[in-house]
Structure 1
Amino acid sequence: MSSQYDIAETLDVKGESCPMPVVKTKQAIDGLAEGEVLEVLATDSGSMSDIEGWAEGTPGVELLEQVEADDVYKHYVKQTA
């Protein structure tokens, strides 16, 4: 399945567990320009709620979509500020 987003960067945190997917997502999104999209690939099922909660509570980021496919959780996060 290809993403409909223009991905600026892909962050692979497969095999890592909480809180590292969120920590590394924050670090990566901070390096992107406004309007750019970060694709995060994780294998921790907790990343679904963790990244969603982080995005909701973080100004300047927007969670566009989360997809589960083949035991990989894909998160699409946009830098909005």
Structure 2
Amino acid sequence: MTAPEAQLTVDLSGLNCPLPILRAKKALADLPSGTVLHLVCTDPGTPSDFEAFCRQTGHELAHQEPADGKFLFWIRRR
């Protein structure tokens, strides 16, 4: 599966929980419904954090993958 085209990319490298979730939530609030947010994270806890975040908020975790020691996420706003 390939990643969807993102309308906004936010680099959250160097931030630890809960900051990646809080910054993603703020970025998603500024996007229209159906658009995709691309996140770049370094915190190893973010894969499970973003899975839970999307489950709880109704946003779609459209794609995720590790890359060069980072964790990449594409979240589609509901």
State the TM-score bracket (shorter-chain normalisation): over 0.9
Percentage of matched positions with identical amino acids: 31
Q: Write out per-residue CA displacement over residues 30-70 of structure 1, whole angstroms, 9 at most, x where no aligned residue.
A: 111111000000000101101110110013x1111110010
Runs (5+) with no aligned partner, structure 2: none
- Please name the residue that 1:23 is paired with: 22
Cα separation, partners in 2 of 1:53 and 1:4, compared to 1, 3 Å: closer
Query: Which SS does the other structure have where 1:15 is aligned?
Result: coil
Which structure is higher in RCO with an 8 Å CA cutoff and minimum separation 6?
2
Aligned to 1:39: 38
- 1:1-33 Cα deviation digits (max 9, x unpaired): xx6412110011000000000000000011111
Query: Does residue 13 in structure 1 map to residue 12 in structure 2?
Result: yes
Q: Which residue of 2 aligns with 1:68?
A: 66
Question: Paired residues, what number?
Answer: 77
TM-score, length-normalised on structure 1?
0.89
Partner of 2:47 in structure 1? 48
Unaligned runs of 5+ in 1: none
Q: 4+ residue stretches of structure 1 with deviation over 2 A?
A: none
Pairwise CA RMSD: 1.1
